Amino acid sequence: MDKVNIALLQMKCSKDKKENLDKAIELMKESAKNGANIVSTQELFLTPYFCQVEDWENFKLAEEINEENKTIKKLSMVAKDFNIVIVASLFEKRTDGIYHNTAVVIDADGKFLGKYRKMHIPDDPHFYEKFYFTPGDLGYKAFNTKYGKIGVLICWDQWFPEAARLTAMKGAKIIFYPTAIGWLPSEKEEFGNSQYNAWETIQKGHAVANGCYIASINRTGFEQSPDGNEGIEFWGQSFISNPYGEIIKKASVDKEEILISEIDLSIIDETRITWPFFRDRRIDSYQDLTKRWLD
């Protein structure tokens, strides 16, 4: 298929995992009825963004991810019944003491295609992810789905051009970025516009540099910090960019919504011929990229 409809589910999340799952499933069904072929959730869509605090109790929110997992079974049934590919972001318990921030891909026939584990793990005020997540060890991946080859990266991954490049080199024509990012209220007035513009710009740059589509799915709404600190105002504005870095469609700042857009995968070859970045890469000169720093 050249023309594919993708849907991004921009949600607010309650403390009830079942409620969040049920809401997401209803949005998936609605997306399918409106023509969507591929549907993606935001980052950690089953829960509030619990990484605002370091709390041992939050590890109980994780689940083992495999084909027997109840969440996977429910999503697989929706994928099969509505003929859609699903990208879903989950908190994975791999084994005792090892947890990951993980995205799964389920094909339109309900088949579990596999998972991607978030590679870059932040540790910033209110984003204490290193407390919870072990860095991913599955590498960068692309998944062959009914509607095309897609890649998945997660939130903090979106700031790293190497991650987008390697995912595109795996053959991904669309890179999905399930995300949870927003403003700290005390910083919004001074830095809010700059922070958002940087986030949007870096991802549009990945689209241009790799000649692919980018789909970034953010949560929306204000989430109070459990410890009484200022909380996070998630800035929504999920968006889809074409290979020229042009935003095809963007969601609102503060509303729950389904962002659906048709994309044309046939322009990727045309774009990469016109701007042959892959052809002209000097792969013989990039060895130092594997070093932390050049003194």
Read off φ and ψ for residue 150, nearest 5 degrees: -125, 155
30 is catalytic: no
Among the listed residues 157, 110, 111, the one whose alpha carbon sits nearest the alpha carbon of residue 138: 157
Q: Which of 13, 51, 155, 212 is an active site residue?
A: 155
257 is catalytic: no
SS3 204: helix
Q: Which of 23, 115, 118, 141 is an active site residue?
A: 118
118 is catalytic: yes
Give the DSSP H or E segment for 262.
Answer: strand 257-264
Helices and strands of the chain, counted as H and E runs: 6, 15
Q: Which of 12, 13, 23, 43 is an active site residue?
A: 43
How far apart (Å, rounded) are the C-alpha atoms in residues 177 and 103?
A: 10
Burial class (CB in 10 A: 0-12, 13-18, 19+), 243: buried
Half-sphere exposure at residue 90, Cβ-oriented, CA atoms within 13 angstroms: 26
Q: Is the dihedral of CA 89, 93, 99, 104 positive or negative?
A: negative
Residue 49 near residue 232 (C-beta atoms within 8 A): yes
What is the residue type of 81? D
Residue 121 near residue 160 (C-beta atoms within 8 A): no
Give catalytic residue positions: 43, 118, 155
